[in-house]
Protein backbone atom coordinates (compact mmCIF):
# COMPACT_ATOMS: atom_id res chain seq x y z
CA UNK A 1 0.00 0.00 0.00
CA UNK A 2 1.58 3.26 -1.04
CA UNK A 3 -0.47 5.96 0.64
CA UNK A 4 2.53 8.21 1.04
CA UNK A 5 1.40 11.23 -0.95
CA UNK A 6 -2.38 11.17 -0.46
CA UNK A 7 -3.97 12.58 2.69
CA UNK A 8 -5.40 10.16 5.22
CA UNK A 9 -9.03 9.12 4.69
CA UNK A 10 -11.54 10.20 7.34
CA UNK A 11 -12.70 7.35 9.58
CA UNK A 12 -16.40 8.23 9.47
CA UNK A 13 -19.69 6.46 8.99
CA UNK A 14 -21.37 8.06 5.98
CA UNK A 15 -23.94 10.73 6.83
CA UNK A 16 -27.24 9.17 7.92
CA UNK A 17 -25.75 5.74 8.54
CA UNK A 18 -24.66 4.16 11.80
CA UNK A 19 -22.85 1.17 13.29
CA UNK A 20 -24.41 -1.30 15.71
CA UNK A 21 -22.28 -2.80 18.46
CA UNK A 22 -22.59 -5.87 20.69
CA UNK A 23 -25.91 -5.91 22.51
CA UNK A 24 -27.51 -3.65 19.88
CA UNK A 25 -26.96 -6.47 17.41
CA UNK A 26 -27.83 -9.40 19.67
CA UNK A 27 -30.97 -7.81 21.09
CA UNK A 28 -32.35 -7.09 17.65
CA UNK A 29 -31.40 -10.59 16.52
CA UNK A 30 -33.10 -12.22 19.53
CA UNK A 31 -36.25 -10.23 18.79
CA UNK A 32 -36.26 -11.04 15.08
CA UNK A 33 -35.56 -14.72 15.78
CA UNK A 34 -38.55 -14.88 18.12
CA UNK A 35 -40.78 -13.19 15.54
CA UNK A 36 -39.48 -15.50 12.80
CA UNK A 37 -40.48 -18.43 15.01
CA UNK A 38 -44.09 -17.18 15.07
CA UNK A 39 -44.13 -16.49 11.32
CA UNK A 40 -42.76 -19.97 10.70
CA UNK A 41 -45.41 -21.55 12.91
CA UNK A 42 -48.07 -19.81 10.83
CA UNK A 43 -46.69 -21.53 7.72
CA UNK A 44 -44.77 -18.54 6.37
CA UNK A 45 -41.48 -19.30 4.57
CA UNK A 46 -38.45 -17.02 4.60
CA UNK A 47 -37.49 -15.12 1.46
CA UNK A 48 -34.28 -13.17 1.09
CA UNK A 49 -34.01 -11.00 -1.98
CA UNK A 50 -30.88 -9.07 -2.83
CA UNK A 51 -30.41 -5.51 -1.63
CA UNK A 52 -30.15 -4.35 -5.23
CA UNK A 53 -33.09 -4.20 -7.65
CA UNK A 54 -33.52 -2.64 -11.04
CA UNK A 55 -35.14 0.77 -10.70
CA UNK A 56 -37.70 -0.45 -13.21
CA UNK A 57 -38.76 -3.33 -10.93
CA UNK A 58 -38.87 -1.09 -7.85
CA UNK A 59 -41.29 1.19 -9.64
CA UNK A 60 -42.33 4.56 -8.30
CA UNK A 61 -38.93 5.93 -9.32
CA UNK A 62 -38.03 6.20 -12.97
CA UNK A 63 -34.79 7.28 -14.60
CA UNK A 64 -35.13 10.92 -15.46
CA UNK A 65 -32.62 12.85 -17.47
CA UNK A 66 -29.61 12.11 -15.39
CA UNK A 67 -30.55 10.08 -12.35
CA UNK A 68 -33.75 8.84 -10.69
CA UNK A 69 -35.75 10.98 -8.33
CA UNK A 70 -34.71 11.40 -4.79
CA UNK A 71 -35.78 8.74 -2.34
CA UNK A 72 -33.62 5.81 -3.39
CA UNK A 73 -29.90 5.26 -3.72
CA UNK A 74 -29.44 4.56 -7.41
CA UNK A 75 -26.68 4.20 -9.99
CA UNK A 76 -26.20 3.03 -13.56
CA UNK A 77 -24.64 -0.36 -14.25
CA UNK A 78 -22.22 -1.10 -17.09
CA UNK A 79 -25.15 -1.40 -19.54
CA UNK A 80 -26.45 2.01 -18.42
CA UNK A 81 -29.44 0.36 -16.71
CA UNK A 82 -30.45 2.00 -13.46
CA UNK A 83 -30.07 -0.08 -10.30
CA UNK A 84 -31.10 0.90 -6.78
CA UNK A 85 -31.05 -0.27 -3.19
CA UNK A 86 -34.50 -1.51 -2.15
CA UNK A 87 -36.50 1.03 -0.14
CA UNK A 88 -38.83 -1.58 1.40
CA UNK A 89 -39.47 -5.34 1.35
CA UNK A 90 -42.84 -5.20 -0.42
CA UNK A 91 -41.65 -4.02 -3.83
CA UNK A 92 -39.12 -6.91 -4.07
CA UNK A 93 -41.89 -9.34 -3.00
CA UNK A 94 -44.12 -8.12 -5.82
CA UNK A 95 -41.21 -8.67 -8.25
CA UNK A 96 -40.59 -12.19 -6.87
CA UNK A 97 -44.30 -13.09 -6.96
CA UNK A 98 -44.37 -12.12 -10.65
CA UNK A 99 -41.00 -13.64 -11.60
CA UNK A 100 -41.61 -17.06 -10.00
CA UNK A 101 -45.39 -17.17 -10.36
CA UNK A 102 -45.29 -20.64 -11.94
CA UNK A 103 -43.07 -22.17 -9.26
CA UNK A 104 -44.24 -20.72 -5.98
CA UNK A 105 -47.07 -22.33 -4.02
CA UNK A 106 -50.26 -20.33 -4.31
CA UNK A 107 -51.17 -18.73 -1.98
CA UNK A 108 -47.57 -17.86 -1.14
CA UNK A 109 -46.92 -16.95 2.48
CA UNK A 110 -43.52 -15.41 2.99
CA UNK A 111 -41.67 -13.44 5.62
CA UNK A 112 -38.63 -11.24 5.10
CA UNK A 113 -36.33 -9.45 7.49
CA UNK A 114 -33.50 -7.18 6.55
CA UNK A 115 -32.22 -3.71 5.94
CA UNK A 116 -33.79 -1.23 3.52
CA UNK A 117 -32.36 2.07 2.36
CA UNK A 118 -33.89 5.53 1.93
CA UNK A 119 -32.09 8.44 0.34
CA UNK A 120 -33.77 10.97 2.60
CA UNK A 121 -32.51 13.77 4.77
CA UNK A 122 -31.27 12.10 7.93
CA UNK A 123 -32.46 13.46 11.28
CA UNK A 124 -32.26 12.54 14.96
CA UNK A 125 -33.19 8.84 15.15
CA UNK A 126 -33.86 8.80 11.39
CA UNK A 127 -31.32 6.76 9.48
CA UNK A 128 -30.84 6.01 5.83
CA UNK A 129 -30.53 2.27 6.49
CA UNK A 130 -32.92 0.51 8.85
CA UNK A 131 -34.49 -2.90 9.36
CA UNK A 132 -37.91 -4.05 8.27
CA UNK A 133 -39.64 -7.26 9.28
CA UNK A 134 -42.54 -8.20 7.02
CA UNK A 135 -44.97 -11.06 6.53
CA UNK A 136 -47.29 -11.20 3.52
CA UNK A 137 -49.69 -13.61 1.87
CA UNK A 138 -49.79 -13.30 -1.91
CA UNK A 139 -52.57 -14.92 -3.93
CA UNK A 140 -55.40 -15.08 -1.43
CA UNK A 141 -58.36 -12.74 -1.61
CA UNK A 142 -59.92 -14.28 1.49
CA UNK A 143 -60.37 -12.09 4.57
CA UNK A 144 -59.12 -15.15 6.47
CA UNK A 145 -55.67 -14.14 5.19
CA UNK A 146 -56.10 -10.69 6.75
CA UNK A 147 -57.43 -12.14 10.00
CA UNK A 148 -54.46 -14.51 10.14
CA UNK A 149 -52.00 -11.63 9.77
CA UNK A 150 -53.68 -9.82 12.70
CA UNK A 151 -53.56 -12.92 14.93
CA UNK A 152 -49.94 -13.52 13.96
CA UNK A 153 -49.07 -9.92 14.80
CA UNK A 154 -50.61 -10.34 18.26
CA UNK A 155 -48.64 -13.56 18.82
CA UNK A 156 -45.43 -11.91 17.60
CA UNK A 157 -45.81 -9.03 20.05
CA UNK A 158 -46.41 -11.41 22.94
CA UNK A 159 -43.50 -13.68 22.04
CA UNK A 160 -41.00 -10.82 22.11
CA UNK A 161 -42.23 -9.72 25.53
CA UNK A 162 -45.21 -7.37 25.17
CA UNK A 163 -47.82 -8.93 27.45
CA UNK A 164 -51.50 -9.07 26.61
CA UNK A 165 -53.12 -5.81 27.69
CA UNK A 166 -50.05 -3.77 26.77
CA UNK A 167 -50.88 -3.81 23.07
CA UNK A 168 -53.87 -3.74 20.78
CA UNK A 169 -54.11 -4.69 17.12
CA UNK A 170 -56.58 -2.33 15.46
CA UNK A 171 -58.38 -3.32 12.27
CA UNK A 172 -60.27 -1.17 9.82
CA UNK A 173 -61.25 -1.49 6.17
CA UNK A 174 -60.50 0.93 3.37
CA UNK A 175 -63.76 -0.14 1.76
CA UNK A 176 -65.69 1.42 4.64
CA UNK A 177 -63.92 4.68 3.95
CA UNK A 178 -64.57 4.26 0.22
CA UNK A 179 -68.23 3.71 1.12
CA UNK A 180 -68.26 6.94 3.10
CA UNK A 181 -66.66 8.71 0.11
CA UNK A 182 -69.35 7.27 -2.16
CA UNK A 183 -72.15 8.39 0.16
CA UNK A 184 -70.56 11.85 0.17
CA UNK A 185 -70.49 11.90 -3.65
CA UNK A 186 -66.71 11.62 -3.92
CA UNK A 187 -66.50 8.25 -5.70
CA UNK A 188 -65.72 9.16 -9.34
CA UNK A 189 -62.32 9.03 -11.05
CA UNK A 190 -62.52 12.83 -11.42
CA UNK A 191 -62.61 13.20 -7.63
CA UNK A 192 -59.18 11.72 -6.94
CA UNK A 193 -57.68 15.05 -5.85
CA UNK A 194 -60.50 15.71 -3.37
CA UNK A 195 -60.26 12.19 -2.00
CA UNK A 196 -56.54 12.70 -1.45
CA UNK A 197 -57.15 15.88 0.56
CA UNK A 198 -59.92 14.17 2.56
CA UNK A 199 -57.66 11.18 3.34
CA UNK A 200 -54.84 13.38 4.53
CA UNK A 201 -57.27 15.46 6.61
CA UNK A 202 -58.72 12.34 8.28
CA UNK A 203 -55.23 11.13 9.08
CA UNK A 204 -54.62 14.35 11.05
CA UNK A 205 -57.51 13.94 13.49
CA UNK A 206 -55.23 13.24 16.46
CA UNK A 207 -53.25 16.41 15.87
CA UNK A 208 -55.88 18.88 14.61
CA UNK A 209 -59.04 17.71 16.37
CA UNK A 210 -62.49 17.66 14.78
CA UNK A 211 -62.60 21.40 14.03
CA UNK A 212 -59.28 21.32 12.24
CA UNK A 213 -60.32 18.37 10.10
CA UNK A 214 -63.66 20.05 9.36
CA UNK A 215 -61.84 23.14 8.11
CA UNK A 216 -59.63 21.05 5.82
CA UNK A 217 -62.68 19.31 4.40
CA UNK A 218 -64.20 22.70 3.57
CA UNK A 219 -62.41 25.84 2.38
CA UNK A 220 -59.12 25.20 4.12
CA UNK A 221 -57.23 25.90 7.30
CA UNK A 222 -54.81 28.52 8.53
CA UNK A 223 -52.33 27.07 11.05
CA UNK A 224 -50.74 28.87 14.01
CA UNK A 225 -47.87 30.15 11.91
CA UNK A 226 -50.38 31.73 9.53
CA UNK A 227 -49.75 29.26 6.68
CA UNK A 228 -52.89 28.38 4.77
CA UNK A 229 -53.64 24.80 3.62
CA UNK A 230 -56.23 24.64 0.87
CA UNK A 231 -59.19 22.37 1.74
CA UNK A 232 -61.14 19.80 -0.27
CA UNK A 233 -63.95 22.30 -0.90
CA UNK A 234 -66.76 19.99 0.26
CA UNK A 235 -70.18 21.42 0.95
CA UNK A 236 -71.92 21.20 4.31
CA UNK A 237 -73.75 17.93 3.57
CA UNK A 238 -70.60 16.22 2.31
CA UNK A 239 -68.60 17.46 5.27
CA UNK A 240 -71.23 16.11 7.66
CA UNK A 241 -71.01 12.66 6.09
CA UNK A 242 -67.22 12.55 6.28
CA UNK A 243 -67.28 13.89 9.85
CA UNK A 244 -69.58 11.06 10.89
CA UNK A 245 -66.70 8.78 9.96
CA UNK A 246 -64.05 10.99 11.53
CA UNK A 247 -65.93 11.16 14.81
CA UNK A 248 -66.78 7.45 14.77
CA UNK A 249 -64.76 6.72 17.89
CA UNK A 250 -66.40 9.38 20.02
CA UNK A 251 -69.82 8.61 18.56
CA UNK A 252 -69.41 4.93 19.41
CA UNK A 253 -68.46 5.93 22.90
CA UNK A 254 -71.66 8.01 23.14
CA UNK A 255 -73.75 5.09 21.98
CA UNK A 256 -72.15 2.92 24.64
CA UNK A 257 -73.13 5.56 27.20
CA UNK A 258 -76.68 5.45 25.82
CA UNK A 259 -76.48 1.68 26.21
CA UNK A 260 -75.49 2.34 29.78
CA UNK A 261 -78.60 4.45 30.21
CA UNK A 262 -80.76 1.63 28.92
CA UNK A 263 -78.87 -0.83 31.03
CA UNK A 264 -79.46 1.29 34.13
CA UNK A 265 -83.15 1.04 33.54
CA UNK A 266 -82.80 -2.74 33.58
CA UNK A 267 -80.41 -3.21 36.42
CA UNK A 268 -78.15 -0.70 38.12
CA UNK A 269 -75.32 -3.21 38.39
CA UNK A 270 -74.86 -3.15 34.62
CA UNK A 271 -73.20 0.26 34.74
CA UNK A 272 -70.03 -1.44 35.83
CA UNK A 273 -70.21 -3.45 32.64
CA UNK A 274 -70.39 -0.37 30.45
CA UNK A 275 -67.59 1.32 32.33
CA UNK A 276 -65.58 -1.77 31.68
CA UNK A 277 -66.34 -1.54 27.96
CA UNK A 278 -65.09 2.02 27.85
CA UNK A 279 -62.03 1.30 29.93
CA UNK A 280 -61.15 -1.60 27.71
CA UNK A 281 -61.08 0.62 24.65
CA UNK A 282 -59.25 3.46 26.23
CA UNK A 283 -55.52 3.11 25.66
CA UNK A 284 -54.74 4.63 29.02
CA UNK A 285 -56.95 2.41 31.14
CA UNK A 286 -56.59 -0.67 28.93
CA UNK A 287 -54.65 -3.40 30.63
CA UNK A 288 -55.29 -2.15 34.13
CA UNK A 289 -57.83 -4.91 34.32
CA UNK A 290 -58.70 -7.34 31.57
CA UNK A 291 -62.20 -6.64 30.24
CA UNK A 292 -64.79 -9.36 30.09
CA UNK A 293 -65.51 -11.00 26.77
CA UNK A 294 -69.09 -9.77 26.99
CA UNK A 295 -68.04 -6.13 27.36
CA UNK A 296 -65.72 -6.31 24.36
CA UNK A 297 -68.30 -8.00 22.22
CA UNK A 298 -70.72 -5.19 22.97
CA UNK A 299 -68.10 -2.76 21.71
CA UNK A 300 -67.59 -4.71 18.49
CA UNK A 301 -71.36 -4.90 17.91
CA UNK A 302 -71.88 -1.19 18.45
CA UNK A 303 -68.94 -0.34 16.20
CA UNK A 304 -70.12 -2.51 13.31
CA UNK A 305 -73.64 -1.12 13.61
CA UNK A 306 -72.34 2.45 13.58
CA UNK A 307 -70.16 1.85 10.51
CA UNK A 308 -72.98 0.06 8.77
CA UNK A 309 -75.20 3.11 9.35
CA UNK A 310 -72.77 5.67 7.98
CA UNK A 311 -72.14 3.77 4.72
CA UNK A 312 -75.81 3.06 4.13
CA UNK A 313 -76.54 3.04 0.42
CA UNK A 314 -72.97 2.23 -0.64
CA UNK A 315 -72.33 -1.29 -1.90
CA UNK A 316 -68.58 -1.07 -1.35
CA UNK A 317 -69.16 0.33 2.13
CA UNK A 318 -71.47 -2.54 3.05
CA UNK A 319 -68.89 -5.00 1.70
CA UNK A 320 -66.28 -3.38 3.92
CA UNK A 321 -68.40 -3.72 7.03
CA UNK A 322 -69.22 -7.34 6.16
CA UNK A 323 -65.51 -8.08 5.79
CA UNK A 324 -64.78 -6.57 9.17
CA UNK A 325 -67.54 -8.71 10.65
CA UNK A 326 -66.07 -11.85 9.01
CA UNK A 327 -62.59 -10.98 10.32
CA UNK A 328 -63.99 -10.55 13.83
CA UNK A 329 -65.76 -13.89 13.60
CA UNK A 330 -62.64 -15.73 12.37
CA UNK A 331 -60.45 -14.17 15.05
CA UNK A 332 -63.00 -15.06 17.67
CA UNK A 333 -62.99 -18.71 16.52
CA UNK A 334 -59.21 -18.76 16.98
CA UNK A 335 -59.51 -17.32 20.48
CA UNK A 336 -58.24 -13.88 19.45
CA UNK A 337 -60.93 -11.79 21.14
CA UNK A 338 -61.23 -8.01 21.26
CA UNK A 339 -58.91 -7.93 24.27
CA UNK A 340 -56.18 -8.30 21.66
CA UNK A 341 -57.65 -7.29 18.31
CA UNK A 342 -60.35 -4.61 17.91
CA UNK A 343 -62.17 -2.94 15.05
CA UNK A 344 -61.14 0.69 15.09
CA UNK A 345 -62.47 3.12 12.46
CA UNK A 346 -59.65 5.50 13.33
CA UNK A 347 -57.06 3.43 11.44
CA UNK A 348 -56.56 4.90 7.98
CA UNK A 349 -52.89 4.16 7.08
CA UNK A 350 -51.26 6.62 4.76
CA UNK A 351 -50.14 4.42 1.88
CA UNK A 352 -52.25 4.87 -1.23
CA UNK A 353 -52.00 1.25 -2.29
CA UNK A 354 -54.19 -0.35 0.37
CA UNK A 355 -57.45 -1.67 -1.04
CA UNK A 356 -59.23 -3.49 1.81
CA UNK A 357 -58.58 -4.30 5.46
CA UNK A 358 -55.86 -2.22 7.13
CA UNK A 359 -54.27 -2.94 10.51
CA UNK A 360 -52.04 -1.28 13.04
CA UNK A 361 -50.49 -2.55 16.27
CA UNK A 362 -50.34 0.00 19.05
CA UNK A 363 -48.53 -0.34 22.35
CA UNK A 364 -50.84 1.01 25.00
CA UNK A 365 -48.46 1.47 27.91
CA UNK A 366 -47.01 4.86 28.68
CA UNK A 367 -43.43 6.00 28.61
CA UNK A 368 -41.96 9.35 29.61
CA UNK A 369 -40.75 11.48 26.72
CA UNK A 370 -37.56 13.52 26.69
CA UNK A 371 -39.36 16.32 28.59
CA UNK A 372 -40.48 13.92 31.32
CA UNK A 373 -44.12 13.95 30.21
CA UNK A 374 -45.98 10.63 30.03
CA UNK A 375 -47.15 9.67 26.56
CA UNK A 376 -48.49 6.56 24.88
CA UNK A 377 -45.84 4.54 23.13
CA UNK A 378 -47.96 4.29 19.99
CA UNK A 379 -47.78 2.32 16.77
CA UNK A 380 -45.13 -0.38 16.18
CA UNK A 381 -46.54 -2.22 13.17
CA UNK A 382 -48.96 -1.73 10.35
CA UNK A 383 -50.20 -3.22 7.14
CA UNK A 384 -53.16 -4.12 5.07
CA UNK A 385 -54.48 -5.55 1.84
CA UNK A 386 -52.98 -4.32 -1.42
CA UNK A 387 -54.31 -5.99 -4.51
CA UNK A 388 -52.53 -3.98 -7.19
CA UNK A 389 -48.78 -4.41 -6.68
CA UNK A 390 -48.11 -7.60 -8.65
CA UNK A 391 -50.36 -6.40 -11.48
CA UNK A 392 -47.69 -3.84 -12.42
CA UNK A 393 -45.61 -6.74 -13.75
CA UNK A 394 -48.11 -9.27 -15.03
CA UNK A 395 -51.21 -7.28 -15.88
CA UNK A 396 -53.20 -9.70 -13.76
CA UNK A 397 -54.83 -8.94 -10.45
CA UNK A 398 -53.08 -10.75 -7.60
CA UNK A 399 -54.61 -10.20 -4.16
CA UNK A 400 -52.11 -9.74 -1.34
CA UNK A 401 -52.10 -8.73 2.30
CA UNK A 402 -49.33 -8.24 4.80
CA UNK A 403 -47.80 -6.50 7.77
CA UNK A 404 -44.54 -4.73 8.51
CA UNK A 405 -43.17 -4.47 12.03
CA UNK A 406 -41.13 -1.39 12.84
CA UNK A 407 -38.05 -3.15 14.13
CA UNK A 408 -36.36 -0.16 15.76
CA UNK A 409 -39.54 1.11 17.43
CA UNK A 410 -40.45 -2.30 18.84
CA UNK A 411 -36.89 -2.73 20.09
CA UNK A 412 -37.07 0.70 21.75
CA UNK A 413 -40.33 -0.38 23.41
CA UNK A 414 -38.76 -3.57 24.75
CA UNK A 415 -35.82 -1.60 26.10
CA UNK A 416 -38.16 0.99 27.66
CA UNK A 417 -39.94 -1.81 29.48
CA UNK A 418 -36.73 -3.65 30.39
CA UNK A 419 -37.88 -6.70 28.47
CA UNK A 420 -35.04 -7.12 26.04
CA UNK A 421 -33.92 -10.67 26.56
CA UNK A 422 -30.65 -11.11 24.69
CA UNK A 423 -27.76 -12.48 26.74
CA UNK A 424 -25.33 -9.59 27.03
CA UNK A 425 -23.00 -11.06 29.69
CA UNK A 426 -19.31 -10.44 29.14
CA UNK A 427 -16.68 -13.17 29.05
CA UNK A 428 -14.59 -14.56 31.91
CA UNK A 429 -11.22 -12.83 31.43
CA UNK A 430 -8.04 -14.81 32.09
CA UNK A 431 -5.37 -12.23 32.90
CA UNK A 432 -1.70 -12.51 31.93
CA UNK A 433 0.74 -12.16 34.86
CA UNK A 434 3.70 -13.72 33.10
CA UNK A 435 3.85 -13.24 29.36
CA UNK A 436 6.13 -16.25 28.89
CA UNK A 437 3.38 -18.52 30.14
CA UNK A 438 0.82 -17.51 27.48
CA UNK A 439 0.35 -21.19 26.56
CA UNK A 440 -0.75 -21.93 30.15
CA UNK A 441 -3.29 -19.12 30.13
CA UNK A 442 -4.57 -20.21 26.72
CA UNK A 443 -4.92 -23.72 28.16
CA UNK A 444 -7.08 -22.40 31.00
CA UNK A 445 -9.29 -20.46 28.67
CA UNK A 446 -9.72 -23.50 26.41
CA UNK A 447 -10.78 -25.53 29.45
CA UNK A 448 -13.40 -22.94 30.33
CA UNK A 449 -14.71 -22.56 26.78
CA UNK A 450 -15.15 -26.29 26.45
CA UNK A 451 -17.03 -26.61 29.76
CA UNK A 452 -20.81 -26.35 30.12
CA UNK A 453 -22.02 -23.38 32.20
CA UNK A 454 -24.30 -25.85 33.96
CA UNK A 455 -23.41 -29.55 33.57
CA UNK A 456 -26.99 -30.47 34.48
CA UNK A 457 -28.34 -28.29 31.68
CA UNK A 458 -26.11 -28.35 28.59
CA UNK A 459 -28.71 -26.21 26.75
CA UNK A 460 -27.33 -23.23 28.66
CA UNK A 461 -24.22 -23.46 26.52
CA UNK A 462 -20.56 -23.31 27.37
CA UNK A 463 -18.61 -20.77 29.39
CA UNK A 464 -17.69 -17.57 27.54
CA UNK A 465 -14.02 -16.84 28.19
CA UNK A 466 -11.00 -15.06 26.78
CA UNK A 467 -7.35 -14.34 27.55
CA UNK A 468 -6.23 -10.71 27.81
CA UNK A 469 -4.36 -10.21 24.55
CA UNK A 470 -3.12 -6.62 25.00
CA UNK A 471 0.21 -5.63 26.45
CA UNK A 472 0.17 -7.39 29.86
CA UNK A 473 2.74 -5.11 31.51
CA UNK A 474 0.25 -2.96 33.43
CA UNK A 475 -2.05 -5.23 35.43
CA UNK A 476 -4.45 -2.37 36.19
CA UNK A 477 -5.13 -2.06 32.47
CA UNK A 478 -6.11 -5.72 32.40
CA UNK A 479 -8.71 -5.19 35.12
CA UNK A 480 -9.96 -2.02 33.38
CA UNK A 481 -10.31 -4.07 30.23
CA UNK A 482 -12.29 -6.76 32.09
CA UNK A 483 -14.52 -4.01 33.42
CA UNK A 484 -15.14 -2.57 29.96
CA UNK A 485 -15.99 -6.05 28.72
CA UNK A 486 -18.54 -6.41 31.57
CA UNK A 487 -16.67 -9.52 32.59
CA UNK A 488 -18.22 -11.43 35.52
CA UNK A 489 -14.98 -13.14 36.63
CA UNK A 490 -11.26 -12.45 36.25
CA UNK A 491 -8.81 -15.35 36.55
CA UNK A 492 -5.35 -14.54 37.90
CA UNK A 493 -2.28 -16.75 38.19
CA UNK A 494 1.07 -15.17 39.03
CA UNK A 495 4.32 -16.90 39.97
CA UNK A 496 3.27 -17.57 43.59
CA UNK A 497 -0.02 -19.15 42.56
CA UNK A 498 1.72 -21.18 39.87
CA UNK A 499 4.18 -22.50 42.46
CA UNK A 500 1.30 -23.33 44.81
CA UNK A 501 -0.75 -24.92 41.99
CA UNK A 502 -3.64 -22.50 42.48
CA UNK A 503 -5.52 -19.73 40.65
CA UNK A 504 -7.25 -16.62 42.01
CA UNK A 505 -10.79 -15.85 40.87
CA UNK A 506 -12.07 -12.30 41.23
CA UNK A 507 -15.86 -11.92 41.29
CA UNK A 508 -16.18 -8.67 39.33
CA UNK A 509 -19.94 -8.34 39.66
CA UNK A 510 -19.87 -8.73 43.44
CA UNK A 511 -16.77 -6.54 43.47
CA UNK A 512 -18.62 -3.76 41.70
CA UNK A 513 -21.56 -4.03 44.10
CA UNK A 514 -19.28 -3.88 47.11
CA UNK A 515 -17.42 -0.92 45.67
CA UNK A 516 -20.73 0.92 45.24
CA UNK A 517 -22.43 0.10 48.50
CA UNK A 518 -19.82 -0.69 51.08
CA UNK A 519 -17.47 1.36 53.21
CA UNK A 520 -13.75 0.73 52.92
CA UNK A 521 -13.90 -1.33 56.13
CA UNK A 522 -16.57 -3.62 54.77
CA UNK A 523 -14.76 -3.81 51.43
CA UNK A 524 -11.67 -5.15 53.15
CA UNK A 525 -13.68 -7.68 55.12
CA UNK A 526 -15.37 -9.08 52.04
CA UNK A 527 -12.78 -9.35 49.31
CA UNK A 528 -14.68 -10.61 46.29
CA UNK A 529 -12.04 -13.14 45.41
CA UNK A 530 -11.10 -16.73 46.15
CA UNK A 531 -8.00 -18.84 45.65
CA UNK A 532 -8.68 -22.38 44.44
CA UNK A 533 -6.57 -25.32 43.24
CA UNK A 534 -5.88 -25.21 39.47
CA UNK A 535 -7.85 -28.42 39.03
CA UNK A 536 -10.98 -26.72 40.42
CA UNK A 537 -10.85 -23.79 37.97
CA UNK A 538 -13.93 -24.79 35.97
CA UNK A 539 -16.02 -25.77 39.00
CA UNK A 540 -15.15 -22.56 40.86
CA UNK A 541 -15.93 -20.35 37.85
CA UNK A 542 -19.26 -22.17 37.47
CA UNK A 543 -20.14 -21.41 41.09
CA UNK A 544 -19.34 -17.72 40.63
CA UNK A 545 -21.37 -17.49 37.41
CA UNK A 546 -24.34 -19.20 39.08
CA UNK A 547 -24.58 -16.55 41.82
Restricting to residues 154-193, name those near a second copy by CB under 8 A. Answer: 155
Question: 22-41: which residues touch a second copy (CB under 8 A)?
Answer: 22, 24-26, 29, 37, 40-41
**Least separation in angstroms between CB 543 and a second copy:** 19
**Per CB under 8 A, 335 contacts a second copy:** yes
Site for a second copy in 418-457 (CB under 8 A): 426-427, 429, 438-443, 445-446, 449-450
Among 4, 12, 64, 211, binds a second copy (CB under 8 A): 12
Count residues near a second copy (CB under 8 A). 110
Does 351 interact with a second copy (rule: CB under 8 A)? no
CB of 528: closest distance to a second copy in angstroms? 21
Taking CB under 8 A as the criterion, the residue among 105, 374, 455, 458 binding a second copy is 105
**Per CB under 8 A, 261 contacts a second copy:** no
Cβ 412 to a second copy, closest distance in Å? 17
Dihedral Cα 110, 158, 354, 338, nearest 10 deg: 130
Written in H, E and C, the secondary structure of 193-244 is: HHHHHHHHHHHCHHHHHHHHHHHHHCCEEECCCCCEEECCCCCHHHHHHHHH
State how beta strands 228-230 and 220-222 pair: antiparallel
| Residue 126 in contact with a second copy, rule: CB under 8 A | no
Does 203 interact with a second copy (rule: CB under 8 A)?
A: no
Q: Smallest distance from the beta carbon of 456 to a second copy, in angstroms?
A: 15
Cα distance from N-terminal residue to C-terminal residue, the chain: 51
Give the Cα separation of 36 and 465 in Å (integer).
30
473 binds a second copy (CB under 8 A): no
Tell whether residue 228 is a contact of a second copy (CB under 8 A).
no
- Smallest separation, CB 124 to a second copy (Å): 17
Residue 65 touching a second copy (CB under 8 A): no
Exactly one of 31, 47, 403, 540 binds a second copy (CB under 8 A); that residue is: 47
**Between residues 268 and 484, which has the closer beta carbon with respect to a second copy?**
484
The partner residues of 132 in beta bridges, in order of sequence, read 114, 406
Site for a second copy in 132-151 (CB under 8 A): 137, 139-140, 142, 144-145, 147-148, 151
CB atoms inside a 10 Å sphere around CB 212: 16
Contact present, 232 and 217 (Cβ < 8 Å): yes
d(CA 212, CA 223): 9
**Is residue 63 a contact point for a second copy (CB under 8 A)?**
no
Shortest Cβ 45–a second copy spacing (Å): 4
Name the residue nearer to a second copy (CB basis): 335 or 418: 335
Q: Beta 374-385 vs 357-368: how paired, if at all?
A: antiparallel
For residue 278, the minimal CB distance to a second copy (Å) is 28
Beta bridge partners of 366: 376
Closest CA to 400 of 414, 388, 418: 388
Q: Is 73 exposed, middle or buried (0-12, 13-18, 19+ CB in 10 A)?
A: middle
Q: Cis ω on the peptide bond leading into residue 247 (within 30° of 0)?
A: no
x-or-dash string of contact with a second copy, 354-393, rule CB under 8 A: ----------------------------------x---xx
109 touches a second copy by CB under 8 A: yes
Q: Kindly tell me which residue out of 180, 234, 363, 467 binds a second copy, with binding defined by CB under 8 A.
A: 467
Q: Which of 234, 311, 465, 545 binds a second copy (CB under 8 A)?
A: 465
Q: 218 CB contacts (<8 Å, ≥6 apart)?
A: 231, 232, 233, 234, 239
Give CA–CA dist 319/349, Å, rounded.
Answer: 19
3-state secondary structure of 163: coil
CB of 235 to a second copy, least distance (A): 28
Binding flag, residue 69, a second copy (CB under 8 A): no
Q: Choose the stretch contacting a second copy; rule: CB under 8 A; options: 79-87, 180-188, 271-279, 508-516.
A: 79-87
From residue 70, alpha-carbon distances to 13, 118, 322, 350 in Å are 21, 9, 41, 20
Nearer to a second copy, 133 or 217 (CB): 133
Half-sphere exposure (Cβ direction) of 504: Cα atoms closer than 13 Å: 16
Amino acid sequence: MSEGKTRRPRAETPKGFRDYFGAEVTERKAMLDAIAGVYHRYGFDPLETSAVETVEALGKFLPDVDRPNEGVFAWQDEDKDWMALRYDLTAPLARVAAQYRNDLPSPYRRYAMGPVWRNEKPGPGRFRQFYQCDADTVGSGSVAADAEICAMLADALEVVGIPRGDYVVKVNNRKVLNGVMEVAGLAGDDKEAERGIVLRAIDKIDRLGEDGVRALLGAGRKDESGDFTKGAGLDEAQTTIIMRFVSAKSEIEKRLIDLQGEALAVAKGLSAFVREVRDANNPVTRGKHLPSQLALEAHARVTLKYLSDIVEGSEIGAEGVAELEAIAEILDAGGYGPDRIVIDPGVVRGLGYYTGPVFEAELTFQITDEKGRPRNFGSVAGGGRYDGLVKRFTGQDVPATGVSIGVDRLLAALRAKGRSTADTAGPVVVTVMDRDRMADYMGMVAQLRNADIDPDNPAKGKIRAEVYLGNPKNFGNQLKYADKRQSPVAVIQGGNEKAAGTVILKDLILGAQIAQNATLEEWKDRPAQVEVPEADLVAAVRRMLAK
